[in-house]
Amino acid sequence: MRKHLFWPLLLIGLAGLVAGFYWVRRQPNKAPTDEILRTGAVVRGDLVISVSTSGTVSMRRVSRVVPTTTAKVARVLVSLQQRVVEGQILGTLDDVDLLRTIEQAEIAVRQAELALDVAQRSTDSEQVRLAELTVSTAAEALELARIGTETARVDAETLIVQAQRQREQAYIRYRDAPDGDEKSRAQTAFEQSETQEHIARLNADLTRASADAQYKAALLNLVQAQNALDTLRKPPDEDTIEQRALDVEQARLRLQQAKRALRDAELIAPHSGLVASIDASEGAVLRAGQQAFTIVDDSAIYVDATIDEIDIGAVEVGQEATLVPDAYPDVTLAGVVESIAPASTNVGGLVAYRVRIELLPTEEARLLDGMAVGAQIITEVLGDRTLVPSWAVRRDQETYETYCLTVREEGLQRTTVEIGRSNELYAEVTNGLTVGDTVALVAQERSFFDAAPQGGPPWANQ
């Protein structure tokens, strides 16, 4: 029997549950009587419309000072955070090697200019006459050397013949001498004569070699004199002159580079600003292109931000902006839109545009390059409007009716309103509320069947 009653009772219970749900959903909306969390007034004022963004601080200029040549650091003349002016010497490099390079380059220029002058110089008759005289003298010297060679050959042969005869005579005396002391003396004399013959042959060879060397030297002098004469008789070679001119130009360029390197031995501030970093130390070697100093021009400070393509149409150059640095959350700074990039950039897959905001001079915060900053760019100001706090505007999820809870003598009352433009703080009321009305935010309790939120800012659920 109980089994037969179970299913009918279950169906009756479910039917009652569904009927109760529909009955609750059809009940008219009534003003809640929950605890009031906050209240606010409807006021009359200006509604500021702005575009929110964030960016980083950047200075007008950030320059890195680097040497153009490798050298030791002689002196560092500034300190961190020191303010410098354009053209001020920040440090110097050791110039000993640089001065030596300039001297070598100057010598090379003089040599190149001399070679060019020789190539361009035209030959006069006096030079030709002297060259002809030199050739004639060299020819006479060559003839004398030839005669000297013949004479040396005859003299050498005479010396050898005399030494041979003396040796033969000494041999005959040795052969015919009786045994004993006389034989021994004759043998000694013979041996000495052989030695003298050998010496005579060596002297003869030396005499002939010396004469031959003098002849070859005389011949070489004649050839050189003749070549010099032939060169003088030739007109200047245009190709040679052009090559010498190029050598002069190249040597002068090297001299200019050496002088420029000497000037660059003084590391100069490219503009006024603060010394942000010092990467050079006295005695250390700096390579060409290696960073030595960083100079930050803080005469103008900017915030570089990106704005989505949806909002960029409302942003214009010259619009005012308010900025709050992350490092100084209690400080609000003023700025002006300085430029808008004509080309887009991709930020996380979204199209955006870079906007530069110039900060107005201030002493409220010490801004450093790269700091994060939040910004509000004021795109429009709606004057003299009826305003209600944005948190008070709610939307019914069933009827999509926009309303506010107003505080009346009899309690909270739900008031339908029409909303115009809005910002993060206020919304413009075009109908439904008057200046002086008080609106409230309450902690509403929702039943299991009323899980959907009872409203929210009108832009939250569109």
Q: Report the alpha-carbon distance of residue 230 to residue 246 in Å, rounded.
A: 26
In this structure, are 131 and 228 located in the same domain?
yes
What separation in angstroms does the CA of 454 have from each of 429, 431, 458, 459?
20, 21, 12, 14
pLDDT for 148: 81
Q: Report the alpha-carbon distance of residue 325 to residue 305 in Å, rounded.
A: 13
Q: Please state the domain count of the chain.
A: 3
Residue 257 lies in a domain: no
pTM, full prediction:
0.51
What separation in angstroms does the CA of 225 have from each of 204, 356, 442?
32, 80, 120
Give the helix/strand (H/E) hosting 45: strand 43-65
The answer to whether residues 387 and 44 touch, using CB atoms and an 8 Å cutoff, is yes
Could you list the residue range(s) of the whole structural domain that residue 374 is in?
50-61+298-382
Closest CA to 156 of 117, 201, 191, 219: 201
Residue 216 lies in a domain: yes
Local structure of 418: helix, strand or coil: strand
Residue 31 lies in a domain: no
Q: Report the alpha-carbon distance of residue 171 to residue 178 in Å, rounded.
A: 13
Strand partners, 58: 302
Kindly write down the DSSP assignment for every residue of 346-380, as one continuous string. EETTEEEEEEEEEEPP-SS----TT-EEEEEEEEE
Which of 351, 382, 413 delimits the end of a domain?
Answer: 382
In this structure, are 147 and 191 located in the same domain?
yes
The answer to whether residues 411 and 448 touch, using CB atoms and an 8 Å cutoff, is no
In this structure, are 327 and 373 located in the same domain?
yes
In this structure, are 279 and 363 located in the same domain?
no
Which of 253, 286, 319 delimits the end of a domain?
Answer: 286
Phi/psi of residue 157, each to 5°? -65, -35
In this structure, are 71 and 57 located in the same domain?
no
pLDDT for 217: 86
Long-range contact pairs involving 136-141 (C-beta distance under 8 Å, separation at least 24): 137/225, 138/218, 138/221, 138/222, 138/224, 138/225, 138/226, 139/222, 141/218, 141/221, 141/222
pLDDT for 460: 37
Q: Report the alpha-carbon distance of residue 336 to residue 366 in Å, rounded.
A: 19
Residue 430 lies in a domain: no
- Indicate which CATH number applies to the domain containing 358: 2.40.30.170
Residue ranges of the chain with per-residue pLDDT less than 70: 1-34, 122-124, 235-236, 444-462
Quick: pLDDT tens for 330-363.
999 999 999 999 999 988 888 999 999 999 988 8
- Tokens for 26? 């059809």
In this structure, are 191 and 273 located in the same domain?
no
pLDDT for 43: 95
In this structure, are 217 and 304 located in the same domain?
no
Residue 23 lies in a domain: no
In this structure, are 127 and 229 located in the same domain?
yes
Residues 6+ apart with CB under 8 A from 442: 32, 34, 35, 36, 37, 405, 412
- Tokens for 392? 């008070």
In this structure, are 127 and 228 located in the same domain?
yes
Residue 177 lies in a domain: yes
Which of 353, 382, 411 delimits the end of a domain?
Answer: 382
In this structure, are 229 and 269 located in the same domain?
no
In this structure, are 231 and 136 located in the same domain?
yes
- Indicate which CATH number applies to the domain containing 167: 1.10.287
Q: Report the alpha-carbon distance of residue 374 to residue 323 in Å, rounded.
A: 6
Kindly write down the DSSP assignment for every residue of 404-417, as one continuous string. EEEEETTEEEEEE-
pLDDT for 103: 85
Residue 207 lies in a domain: yes
By CB atoms closer than 10 A (0-12, 13-18, 19+), residue 375 is buried
Q: Report the alpha-carbon distance of residue 95 to residue 261 in Å, rounded.
A: 9
- Indicate which CATH number applies to the domain containing 277: 2.40.50.100
Quick: pLDDT tens for 389-436.
999 999 988 888 999 999 988 889 999 999 999 888 899 999 999 999
Local structure of 297: helix, strand or coil: strand
Residue 371 lies in a domain: yes
Q: Report the alpha-carbon distance of residue 281 to residue 279 in Å, rounded.
A: 7
Strand partners, 358: 302, 336
Q: Report the alpha-carbon distance of residue 186 to residue 179 in Å, rounded.
A: 10
Residues 6+ apart with CB under 8 A from 16: none
Q: Report the alpha-carbon distance of residue 124 to residue 411 in Å, rounded.
A: 126
Q: Where are the alpha helices (DSSP H) in 66-180?
A: 96-120, 125-176
Phi/psi of residue 23, each to 5°? -65, -40
pLDDT for 458: 42
In this structure, are 222 and 136 located in the same domain?
yes
pLDDT for 179: 82
- Tokens for 187? 């043998």
By CB atoms closer than 10 A (0-12, 13-18, 19+), residue 327 is middle
The answer to whether residues 431 and 418 touch, using CB atoms and an 8 Å cutoff, is yes
